[in-house]
């Protein structure tokens, strides 16, 4: 029976700001361990959808509809209930790892904080775990690095710290909002590969929010395209990107293809390595 229940089920979600529905009846579902992309241009409502699910909308927003995690309603829950879920069942990473991290706290403590809060780790157990997690996300010299502060790290390293903290409690769902948009393209490739590997290891489902169609192709199996707060198209990532049905998706795709140059050798290499 549990297999029939979606991990996350969002139904007719509306977010209203000053009389305008900026998210206007969005519905989608994610199964356990699944990777789904939410794509759209700026202002399409993709980030607000994520924030609504997380209970992190700015004050003044009115939310209606439903978002259920394991069948439990998230919308309208108390801060206390949501805080218990966030970090344990539900985790997130954002575009700007520098603002997501506390500048005054050593990165090791930030990585292990969810373990202390939700899993009752002792100070020493958390410190040991922080080093292990730092190593697992590919941070160099983890013993020393956990003692440094966020400003001493590069943008890519900071995002690795955020990923380590987000996945520390092996949450059922990770919401990633443009996690590589602020990074250089070579760093982006590393972070995407790391994220893909770790969510499969942890069995975590991934809701990946991005404006970048090529990035979504690299990470997700299914996607929903948002425009003006509505889902205009859903489907398997490959199908939608090969033959989009919605005119808006078609326009986005044509625009994205403009800057994809022909590279026959890389093309065939990619075709060979993809499953």
- 131 closest CA partner among 140, 139, 143, 141: 143
Kindly tell me which residue out of 62, 197, 221, 257 binds other proteins, with binding defined by CB under 8 A. Answer: 257
- 232 touching other proteins, by CB under 8 A: no
- 214 touching other proteins, by CB under 8 A: yes
- Considering only 23-31, 50-58, 181-189, 194-202, which stretch makes contact with other proteins by CB under 8 A? 181-189
Cβ neighbours of residue 253 closer than 8 Å, sequence gap 6 or more: 213, 241, 244
- 256 touching other proteins, by CB under 8 A: yes
Question: How many degrees, rounded to 5, is the angle at CA 111 between CA 109 and CA 116?
Answer: 65
Spatial contact of 41 and 252, defined as CB atoms under 8 Å apart: yes
How many residues of this chain interact with other proteins, rule: CB under 8 A? 38
- Considering only 7-15, 27-35, 113-121, 179-187, which stretch makes contact with other proteins by CB under 8 A? 179-187
Cβ neighbours of residue 31 closer than 8 Å, sequence gap 6 or more: 6, 7, 205
Tokens of 19: 């009389």
Site residues for other proteins, window 3-42 (CB under 8 A)?
Answer: 41-42
Number of C-beta neighbours around residue 160 at 10 A:
28
- 152 touching other proteins, by CB under 8 A: no
- 215 touching other proteins, by CB under 8 A: yes
Q: Closer to other proteins by CB, 62 or 242: give it.
A: 242
Shortest spacing between CB 98 and other proteins, in angstroms: 13
Number of C-beta neighbours around residue 13 at 10 A:
24
- 273 touching other proteins, by CB under 8 A: no
Per CB under 8 A, residues contacting other proteins are 41-42, 184-189, 192, 211-215, 217-218, 238, 241-243, 251-267, 270
């Amino acid at each position: 029976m549990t297999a029939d229940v979606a991990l996350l089920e969002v139904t007719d979600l509306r977010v209203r700001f000053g009389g305008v529905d900026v998210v206007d009846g969005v519905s989608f579902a994610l199964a356990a361990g699944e990777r789904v992309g939410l794509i759209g241009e700026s202002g399409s409502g993709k980030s607000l959808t994520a924030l609504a699910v997380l209970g992190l909308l700015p004050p003044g927003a009115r939310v209606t509809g439903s978002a259920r995690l394991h069948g439990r309603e998230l919308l309208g829950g108390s801060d206390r209930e949501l805080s218990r879920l966030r970090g344990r069942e539900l985790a997130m990473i954002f575009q700007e790892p520098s603002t997501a991290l506390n500048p005054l706290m050593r990165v090791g403590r930030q990585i292990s904080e969810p373990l202390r809060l939700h899993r009752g780790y002792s100070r020493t157990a958390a410190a040991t775990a922080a080093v292990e997690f730092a190593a697992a996300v590919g941070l160099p010299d983890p013993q020393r690095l956990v003692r440094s502060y966020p400003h001493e790290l590069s943008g890519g390293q900071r995002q690795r710290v955020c990923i380590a903290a987000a996945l520390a409690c092996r949450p059922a769902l990770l919401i990633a909002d443009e996690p590589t948009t602020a990074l250089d393209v070579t760093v982006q490739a590393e972070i995407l590969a790391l994220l893909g590997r770790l969510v499969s290891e942890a069995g975590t489902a991934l809701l990946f929010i991005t404006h970048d169609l090529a990035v979504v192709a690299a990470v997700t199996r299914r996607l929903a395209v948002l425009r003006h707060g509505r889902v205009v198209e859903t489907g398997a990532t490959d199908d939608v990107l090969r033959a989009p049905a919605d005119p808006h998706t078609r326009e986005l795709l044509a625009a994205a293809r403009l800057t994809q140059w022909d590279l026959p050798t890389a093309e065939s290499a990619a075709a060979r390595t993809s499953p």
